[in-house]
Structure 1
């Protein structure tokens, strides 16, 4: 379930990042908060679903984030910025931390861990 949710969030992020700025949904939140929350959800779902070392998942998430920022330079009216990469990467880190905590709690609740 978490893996499917992660892929859905990833698809929405790609759509919002490479579509023209006027097609982006407006939540009423600040742009940086929107970015942070979206990437936190992404990180959380993939951390929960992870079947490989969490550091590897984190590195994949950073590579995705960097690629997305680079791709925006080729979309008319969009631009990739280091500041945006930092905000999104922090969102991934926060989300993955929460995801690891949720996964550990769930494992303990099932009796999988001491």
Structure 2
């Protein structure tokens, strides 16, 4: 419990976002929210935001965050194999990983410019 008390709001938001994306990735397809954008843009943006928020929440751990978001992209995609209405595709994981990497890089640039 003390660990939660020591977390910054950005860290809590990052982990909540992580959990939300995991849930949306593996929940039944009919529960998946849709923005109206092409699905690969949604995937890319979701992981870009995830990477950005994590890199902002843990600014000195950007390499670890890079591994986290890329690992999550592939891990979440594999987790879809457990859901009967979902399917795992390598292209989807690559799009998610590219978004995550872009978010981490954007956050690193943003933090350097505005420090």
Q: Give the TM-score range, shorter chain.
A: 0.7 to 0.9
Q: Distance in 2 between matches of 1:93 and 1:75?
A: 26
CA RMSD across the alignment: 1.3
Extract unaligned runs of 5+ from structure 1: 108-114
1:74 matched to 2:82: yes
1:63 matched to 2:71: yes
Give the equivalent residue in structure 1 for 2:27.
19
Residue 52 of structure 1: how far off its partner (Å): 4.1
- Picking from 78, 101, 106, the partner of 2:109 is 101
Residue 101 of structure 1: how far off its partner (Å): 1.3
SS in 1 for 2:36: coil
SS in 2 for 1:53: helix
TM-score with structure 1 length normalisation?
A: 0.86
| 1:68/1:10 CA distance change after superposition, 3 Å | same
Residue 51 of structure 1: how far off its partner (Å): 4.9
TM-score with structure 2 length normalisation?
A: 0.85
Of Structure 1 and Structure 2, which has the larger fraction of its residues in helix? 2
How big is each residue's C-alpha offset from its partner over 1:5-57, in whole Å with a ceiling of 9 and x where there is no partner?
Answer: 21222122111111100011111111000001100000000111115431221
Extract unaligned runs of 5+ from structure 2: 1-8
How big is each residue's C-alpha offset from its partner over 1:42-93, in whole Å with a ceiling of 9 and x where there is no partner?
Answer: 0000111115431221012211221111110110111111100100001001
Q: Distance in 1 between matches of 2:67 and 2:35?
A: 29
